[in-house]
Amino acid sequence: MTSSMKQPARAKARSRETVGKDVFFALTDLMSFLTHHDTLTGIQRVQSNIARSLIDRRGDDARYIIADRPVPGKDACFRELDRTAFVRLIDYVNGEVVDHDQLQALLSLCVDGARPVTPRPGSAVILLGSFWSNENTVDRYLALKRSGVRIGVYIYDIIPLSHPEFCDAYLVRDFSASLLDLCLVADFFLAISDHTRSDLARFLSENSPSQPPIRTVRLAHAMTLQPEVADIWPNAMQRLKGREYVAFVSTIEGRKNHLYAVNVWRQLIADGVEVPDLVLAGRKGWRINGLIDLLEGTDNLDGRVHLVHDLSDTELAAVYENSLFTVFPSLVEGWGLPVGESLALGKMCAASNTSSIPEVGGDFVDYFDPTNLQDGVKVIARLIQNRAWLADRERNIADHFTARTWDEVADEFMAEVADLGRAPPTPIGVAMLEAGVVYRPSDVFQPPSPHRWLQDRATRFLMARSFYGNETVGCWMRGPSGEMVFQTGLAEGEPIVIDIAAFSTGLLGDAGVTLMLDPVAGKPRLRPVALHLPVEPGAQYQIRGHVGPAGLCRLTLEVAGPYERPGGDERDLAIGFSAIGFAPAADIEARMDLLEGMTLKVATYRPTSSAGGG
C-alpha cells in the first residue's frame, strides 16, 4: 500500500535578482502569544516550525515582521525581527524545559531588537498565524495593501463558521468578522489541506466580491516529536507502566469527540471484550460537560480511562510509542496532526473518515464514521482482538509510510508564494450595503450574532480609511475631512437617499460642517448638506443624490475652518457618525425601513470638554 497523499515537488531555489520581491511573514500574533504563554500550541507551533525551516533553508528569501501597537490616528508601523534572536527564542520555547523569566527575557531581546521596516510595493506579506486575534487583525495591514503590497493568508480551517456549535460565541464573531474583512483585502490564500481549501472556496464564493486564488500547502505529519524514546515514561502515567493502553492525543473538547471514544470503550466492555486502558492526553477545553459527567459517574469506567496533560514533547512521543495503537474520532478538522504524529512514530491509528483526516492518514489508517457508534466499535474491536491484523497494518506503515517534513512544507510554501506573486495586486474591495438597513459602528459591541456579520463588515470598511476605531458612541472622523465609500448594487445614475446620524465634540466654534455625495455625470449637481452646530447627539441628516459608476457611492464629510480639539485626547476629533443607511429614492418600503431603523435607536453620546478614546 502507498499513501494517498500526493508528495509535493521540491521548490526550486529562488534568487532575489530574478524575482525582485520580498516575502515578509507577519508574526505579531506569535510574539503576542508568547507574552502570555510559556509553551506553543497549535497554530503557534506551526508558525515556529515553518519559520525555523525557512531560516535554515532559504536564508534571506524570507523576512519576519511584527506590527507595533496601534497609535490612534496613525497607520501601523512594522519592525523586522533579527534572525539570530528569533531562532534563539524559538529553539528555547520548543525545548524540553522552559523557564518563564528566561523566556520573557529572550522575547524582549527579540522584540526590542527588531528594526523598523516598510515592505515595498510589489512585496508580499503573509499572515501565517491567527488573523482574528493576538493583535494581528487585518486593519493593521490596510495601509500596506493600499501602497501596493500583496497580502496572503494561511488558513487552517473555517470551523468557527462551518461548525459554530463547537466554538465559543465570541470566537465565532471575531473569526467571521476577520475572514469577511480578508475577503476584501487578501490577494491570495493558502490552505493547510484540500478540505480546508474547499470549505474556504465555498465561503469566498458566497461572501467575496472577488475570488482570490487558493493553493493547498499541507502541514507536516508531526510537530517535533522524535522516535526511539521508549525508555522515557511520563510521570503522570506511572501506574500504567507495563499495561496495554490505547492513546487519544488531543485537546479535550467537544469537537474532538472524546465522548464517542469513551462510549466505544463502554460498548466493548459490555460486549465482553478485554479492552486495554484508554489514555486521553491533552488539556481540557470547552463543550465537555457530558464527557466529564460520564467519567465522574462511572469512576472513569472503573479505572480504564486516564486523563493526562502538560506533557513535554519527549513524554508525548513516549505516549505514542508505548501505546497499542491510537484513536482519533474527531468530528471535523482542518488537518489532523495527531493522526500524522501517530504514523510518523510507527503507530497504527483508527480515525474518523471526515473532513481532512483521510488526507493525513491516506491508506495507512483504519477509518470509521464518528457519528455511528457501532462503526467505531467494529473497527476498534478488530485492532484489539486481531493482533495479526494490527501487526500487518504496522508493518505496512514501517515499509511504505514517509512522513512529510517541515522542510518540504517550507519549500512548497515559498514556491506557491512566488508563483502567486506574479499576478498584479488586487484593489481593496468595497463593502456592500443593503438598502433599508441601518449600519452602526457600536453594533460590534453587541452579543455575537451571525445575522450581523455582513453588516459589521460593511461598517468596518466604511470607516477603514477616514475614521478611528469603533466606540460605543459610534466612530470619530480622523481630522477635518474624510469619506465613506460603499457599494449599492444599483445602476449608475439611480436616485438615492442616504440617512446619517452624526455627533460632534461641541467645540467646533464657527467652523462649518458639510456632507456631500459625489456628483454623477449627466445628473443635476446637488448642494452639500450643512450640519447645524452644535451637532446634537443622534442628530439625523438626509443626503440626496445619484448612484455613481459601478454602483458605488462616495460620501464626503468636511469641517471648514479652525476648531478646538478636546483636551486629554491625542486624536484630531471634530465630527463622528453613529449610524448610516441608504435607500433608492423610489423604494418607499426601503425608505420606511431606514426611517424606522434610524428613529428607534440613536446614539447616547453627551458632548463634554474632553472626548475620551475608545
Do 235-400 and 21-216 fall under one CATH topology? yes
Q: Evaluate whether 383 touches 389 at the Cβ level (below 8 Å).
A: yes
Cell 451637532 belongs to residue = 535
Tell me the range of 27-36, 426-435, 445-454 where mean pLDDT is highest: 27-36
Q: Evaluate whether 410 touches 55 at the Cβ level (below 8 Å).
A: no
The residues, any chain, with a CB within 8 Å of residue 373's CB and separated by 6 or more, are 260, 263, 264, 267
pLDDT exceeds 60 at position 608: no
- Domain made up of 21-216: CATH architecture: 3-Layer(aba) Sandwich (3.40)
Lowest mean pLDDT among 58-72, 301-315, 580-594: 58-72
pLDDT exceeds 60 at position 407: yes
Reference 466, options 375, 573, 359; nearest CA is 573
pLDDT exceeds 80 at position 229: no
pLDDT (tens digit per residue) in 500-552:
999 999 999 989 999 999 999 999 888 889 888 778 877 899 999 999 999 99
What pLDDT is stored for residue 239 in this prediction? 83
Separation CA 481–CA 15 (nearest Å): 45
Per-residue pLDDT band for 287 (boundaries 50, 70, 90) equals confident
CA distances from 184 to 49, 120, 151, 548 (A): 29, 21, 11, 20
Residue ranges per domain, the chain? 21-216, 235-400, 441-600
pLDDT (tens digit per residue) in 475-514:
999 999 999 999 999 999 999 999 999 999 999 998 999 9
- Domain made up of 441-600: CATH architecture: Sandwich (2.60)
Write down the pTM of the prediction: 0.82
What pLDDT is stored for residue 33 in this prediction? 92
The residues, any chain, with a CB within 8 Å of residue 437's CB and separated by 6 or more, are 455, 581, 593, 594, 597
Q: Evaluate whether 339 touches 401 at the Cβ level (below 8 Å).
A: no
**Residue/partner pairs of 566-571 with CB below 8 Å, 24 or more apart:** 566/505, 566/507, 566/608, 566/609, 566/610, 566/611, 567/609, 567/610, 568/610, 568/612, 569/610, 569/611, 569/612, 569/613, 570/72, 570/73, 571/72, 571/73, 571/468, 571/476, 571/478, 571/613
Question: Could you check whether the bond before residue 227 is cis, i.e. omega within 30 degrees of 0?
Answer: no
Reference 183, options 413, 453, 416, 549; nearest CA is 453
Q: Evaluate whether 547 touches 494 at the Cβ level (below 8 Å).
A: yes
Q: Evaluate whether 347 touches 308 at the Cβ level (below 8 Å).
A: no
Terminal Cα distance for the chain, rounded = 60
pLDDT exceeds 50 at position 47: yes
Sheet with 481-487, side-by-side order of all strands: 481-487, 552-560, 512-517, 529-531
Q: What's the topology of domain 235-400?
A: Rossmann fold (3.40.50)
pLDDT exceeds 70 at position 141: yes
Helix (H) or strand (E) holding 342: helix 337-344
Per-residue pLDDT band for 614 (boundaries 50, 70, 90) equals very low
Reference 284, options 305, 309, 316, 304; nearest CA is 309
Separation CA 26–CA 21 (nearest Å): 16
What pLDDT is stored for residue 448 in this prediction? 62
Query: Three-state DSSP class for 582?
Result: strand
- Looking at residue 599, its amino acid is T
- Looking at residue 180, its amino acid is L
